[in-house]
Every structure is written in structure tokens, then in C-alpha cells.
Structure 1
Amino acid sequence: MREKTIDYVLRATWMAVAKMYNEEAGKQGSTMATGFVLLNIDPEDGTPSTSLGPKMGMEATSLSRTLKTMENKGLISRQRNPEDGRSVLIQLTDFGKEMREYSKGVVLKFDEKVKENISDVDLKTFIEVANTIIDLISNRKIY
């Protein structure tokens, strides 16, 4: 039964990808979540902390914990947002920019290897199917 459900295939695939990313991040003393946040922070202008969670689909508590860890490791700094004094800009430190490039390389290598092993047609179909599933869920067309 489990091999026949779409849910199982999606979950098993994502768990394998997450494990792979965590193993790679671990080589640098990091995590997949940290790499994901690094990739979503504008390396030049920073990113308002309030826009990071929705942008990445992360819960506020998980994001706060991850940002605190990143700050303690010297990857980010928090600055007052000059355009909105009520919010905080998350800025990458030099070390954060270096780790962002590492994370970017890991993601690009994954993409490259997948593209080497899956035809353009199959990859296009996969993306269309995934987008349809996202649309069905987002627009509450399932439940």
C-alpha cells in the first residue's frame, strides 16, 4: 500500500533529500534549516525578519530558534530596519555570506546531478505535477 500512495512517495523523497542536506551541512557544523535561511536572506540588503517566515513557510518559533542559533554562530546580525523602525533587518556577516555560498553550491550540485539523471521532459512533468499538488492544497481543493 505505501508504495502506491502519492503521499508516501513525496514524504520518502523529501526525507531522503533532507537527510542528504543535513549530512552535507553537518560537514560544516550546520543544518539544512540554517542553509535554507541563509539562502533566503538578501546578501546585500538583508531581509526583514517578518518576511522570512512566510517566504520560507517556516513557523515563527522555529525561525526564531534558528535565527538565534545563527546569530550565536556569527552568521547573521540583526539591524534596525531604516525603512520601518518597528522591524528588524537580518543581515549576513562575512562568515554568513561564506556559508551562504557553500549552501548555494550544495543545492546547485543536487540540481545538476538530478538534471544529469532525469530527462528534461520528465523533470518538466515532475514540476508540473508538484505545482498541481501545491495548488490543490493551497486552494483547499482536497479537504
Structure 2
Amino acid sequence: MKKDDLIDYALRATWQAVARMYNEEAGKVDSTMATGFTLLSIDKEKGTPSTALGPKMGMEATSLSRILKSMEEKGLIERKRNPDDGRSVLICLTDFGKENRDFSKSVVMKFNDAVKNHISEEKLDHFFEVIQTINNLISEKKIYTETESVKTIDPK
């Protein structure tokens, strides 16, 4: 089987190309794709609880902490006490953060529009069906079960 026939290879290669493209665009404003994604994940008006941001973005807390620290140093976000829960912190966009969020949104929308202009609605519907099926197979553990034993390779 050639690598071009592997589904995971196609997904990974395509995502890497998209990430490079987004990082190139973000670099024009001294930013990164991760920062743009974070800006888009924060509620523009009310802010987002720090504890909800990681799960919303599918990121581990340690990775997100580094991004948030960098964003705070650049003046994109500020941390505020959550008025609904004094134990938690809201991540809020500054005016500069809102400007950068608008830029990030325009980059994402331009990408989406370009793809939609080159691929029929029917093909996009199929694409999303396939992606949803892959996600369901993974989340429902229908590819690798927890009870499968790991086979070891005999070095001899």
C-alpha cells in the first residue's frame, strides 16, 4: 500500500499544509495559528472561563497556558475574576485582541470561501460526513478497543 492511499496520511498532510498556510498569514501580523485559534475561541463580548477554553479547543492545559501567557504579554487578552464564580478566571479580549481576532476570522473565512468556490456543496457534504464518521469511530473506540492486547514484536 502506498502512503498516498492511507487515510491518516492524507489527513495529516492536508492539515500540515493548512497549518503552514495559516501560520504564514498569521506571521504577517506577528502572530501564530495557535494564537488565532485561541482568539476565535474566546467569547468576544463576555470572555470565556479559563477552565472551559482548553476543552473547547481540544487542548491540554499546559499547552494552553503557554499560549495564554504569550497572548497576555502581547496585550491580546487579560484575565478577570469571573463574577459568576469567584474561584475561576475569565479570559477576555483586549481591544487589540479583538482587532487580531477580526483578522484571524477574515483569514479563516477567506480559506472557507476559497474551498467552497472550488468544491461543490454535495462534495463538501460528503467530506463532512466522512469526517464525522472518522470522529465517531475514534470516540466510540471502534478502531482500537481498550481490551485489545498489544502485540509485541519478537526481536529474533
Task: Provide the residue aligned with 2:115 in structure 1.
Answer: 114
SS of the residue 2:66 aligns to = helix
For residues 23-59 of structure 1, the C-alpha deviation after alignment (integer angstroms, 9 at most, x for no partner) is: 0000000000000000000010000000000001011
Does 2:18 correspond to 1:17? yes
Distance 2:38 2:21 in 1: 17
Task: Provide the residue aligned with 2:27 in structure 1.
Answer: 26
SS of the residue 1:28 aligns to = coil
Q: What are structure 1's unaligned runs of at least 5 residues?
A: none
For residues 97-132 of structure 1, the C-alpha deviation after alignment (integer angstroms, 9 at most, x for no partner) is: 000000000000000000000011111000100011
SS of the residue 1:82 aligns to = coil
Q: What are structure 2's unaligned runs of at least 5 residues?
A: 145-156
Q: State the 4+ residue runs in structure 1 displaced beyond 2 angstroms.
A: none
Structure showing the higher helix proportion among its residues: 1
Q: Any residues of structure 2 matched to 1:99-110 within 5 Å, and which?
A: 99-110=100-111
- Residue 139 of structure 1, CA deviation: 1.1
Q: Indicate the RMSD between aligned Cα atoms, in angstroms.
A: 0.4
Q: Which has the larger radius of gyration?
A: 2
Q: Which one-letter code corresponds to 2:111 in the other structure?
A: F
Q: Which one-letter code corresponds to 2:37 in the other structure?
A: F
Task: Provide the residue aligned with 1:125 in structure 2.
Answer: 126
Distance 1:118 1:79 in 2: 43
Task: State the percentage of identical aligned residues.
Answer: 69
Does 2:82 correspond to 1:81? yes
Task: Provide the residue aligned with 2:148 in structure 1.
Answer: none
Task: Provide the residue aligned with 2:149 in structure 1.
Answer: none
